[in-house]
């Protein structure tokens, strides 16, 4: 696993966006795995900026989102469909039919999940999967105790996640209890993983994911099993890491590494 520590959120977002652009430069028809949550917003803003500056083209890109709340229609302001439209898809040139997001309103979840997995495979698999991390160490909506080989499925949200995400809803009771999410196994199948984390509320989860044991109690720790996983954090999110000097030494010695 590669750990990149940046001074602040903006710089973390820039470095992450550049890594996505690097993938698109070598493979213009890459399949991108998208994440929601507040953390990747800066990364998306930077990709939009680079697109508007003519430095990156998305016309051949296909995307797959990690997850969606069950029960929220695509036009619901808190749905991940709406989030992605608002913050990214509306501002870049990805063809509509190349955008895939789990449905929160299908009448047959098992069939839909199987279809979603099949569709990822049909498109050649995910080249780079963007990830955030929950304060309990989850990736997508793979809550503690999720199998590390799980596939796309319906998942019950933990109390911690409901509490964390309540800030986006009017009342805590409005937060959906279920979500449809790619599994940890689905995520590990991506060719490259890019996890971004910012702020002190993520410091413990980041330390557990990067330096703790691989455990289903912290599903982000499964990144340790991946051969090309990059974790980009800001100072606050890096606070619990014990091997910091080592990560910085490696990053400084890397010739092609983006510089601040």
Contacts with ligand GLP, residue ranges (CB under 6 A): 35-39, 66-67, 132-134, 140-141, 161
**Phi and psi (nearest 5°) for 5?**
-105, 125
Any catalytic annotation for residue 163?
Answer: no
CB-based contacts of 180: which residues, under 8 Å, 6+ apart?
Answer: 67, 68, 70, 102, 103, 104, 106, 109, 112, 113, 152, 153, 154, 155
Q: Among 143, 164, 189, 234, which one carries the catalytic annotation?
A: 143
Closer CB to ligand GLP, residue 147 or residue 257? Answer: 147
Give the separation between CA 28 and CA 113, rounded to whole angstroms. 27
Q: CB of 206: closest distance to ligand GLP in angstroms?
A: 12
CA angle 219, 222, 224 (to 5 degrees): 140
**Phi and psi (nearest 5°) for 172?**
-55, -35
Any catalytic annotation for residue 136?
Answer: yes
136 and 181 Cβ atoms separated by less than 8 Å: no
Q: CB of 254: closest distance to ligand GLP in angstroms?
A: 26
Closer CB to ligand GLP, residue 43 or residue 241? Answer: 43
Q: CB of 40: closest distance to ligand GLP in angstroms?
A: 7
Q: Among 127, 138, 164, 234, which one carries the catalytic annotation?
A: 138
Pick from 74, 79, 95: nearest CA to 168: 79
> How many CB atoms within 10 Å of residue 117?
18
Closer CB to ligand GLP, residue 18 or residue 38? Answer: 38
Give the separation between CA 143 and CA 218, rounded to whole angstroms. 8
Q: CB of 120: closest distance to ligand GLP in angstroms?
A: 17
CA angle 172, 173, 177 (to 5 degrees): 105
Q: CB of 133: closest distance to ligand GLP in angstroms?
A: 5
Q: CB of 202: closest distance to ligand GLP in angstroms?
A: 7
CB-based contacts of 183: which residues, under 8 Å, 6+ apart?
Answer: 142, 146, 147, 149, 150, 151, 152, 153
Closer CB to ligand GLP, residue 38 or residue 216? Answer: 38
Closer CB to ligand GLP, residue 60 or residue 105? Answer: 105
Pick from 151, 154, 160, 153: nearest CA to 218: 160
Closer CB to ligand GLP, residue 66 or residue 72? Answer: 66
What DSSP state is assigned to residue 77? Answer: T
Q: Among 46, 67, 127, 234, which one carries the catalytic annotation?
A: 67
The residues annotated as belonging to the active site are 67, 136, 138, 143
């Amino acid at each position: 696993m590669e750990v990149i520590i940046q001074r602040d959120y903006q710089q973390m977002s820039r470095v992450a966006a550049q890594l996505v652009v690097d993938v698109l430069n070598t493979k213009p028809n890459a399949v991108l795995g998208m994440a929601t949550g507040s953390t990747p917003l800066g990364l998306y803003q930077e990709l939009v900026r680079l697109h508007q500056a003519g430095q990156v083209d998305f016309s051949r890109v296909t995307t797959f989102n990690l997850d969606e709340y069950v029960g929220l229609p695509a036009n619901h302001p808190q749905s991940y469909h709406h989030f992605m439209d608002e913050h990214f898809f509306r501002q870049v040139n990805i063809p509509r039919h190349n955008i895939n997001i789990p449905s929160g309103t299908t009448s047959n979840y098992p069939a839909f999940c199987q279809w979603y997995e099949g569709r990822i495979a049909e498109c050649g698999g995910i080249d780079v999967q963007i990830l955030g991390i929950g304060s309990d160490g989850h990736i997508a909506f793979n809550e503690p105790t999720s199998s590390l080989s799980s596939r796309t499925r319906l998942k019950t949200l933990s109390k911690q996640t409901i509490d964390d995400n309540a800030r986006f809803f009017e009342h805590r009771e409005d937060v959906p209890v279920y979500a449809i999410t790619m599994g940890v196994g689905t995520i590990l199948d991506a060719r490259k993983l890019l996890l971004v984390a910012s702020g002190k509320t993520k410091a413990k989860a980041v330390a557990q994911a990067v330096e703790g044991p691989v455990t289903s109690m912290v599903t982000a720790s499964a990144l340790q099993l991946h051969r090309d996983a990059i974790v980009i954090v800001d100072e606050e999110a890096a606070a619990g890491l014990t091997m910091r000097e080592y990560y910085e030494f490696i990053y400084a010695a890397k010739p092609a590494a983006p510089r601040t």
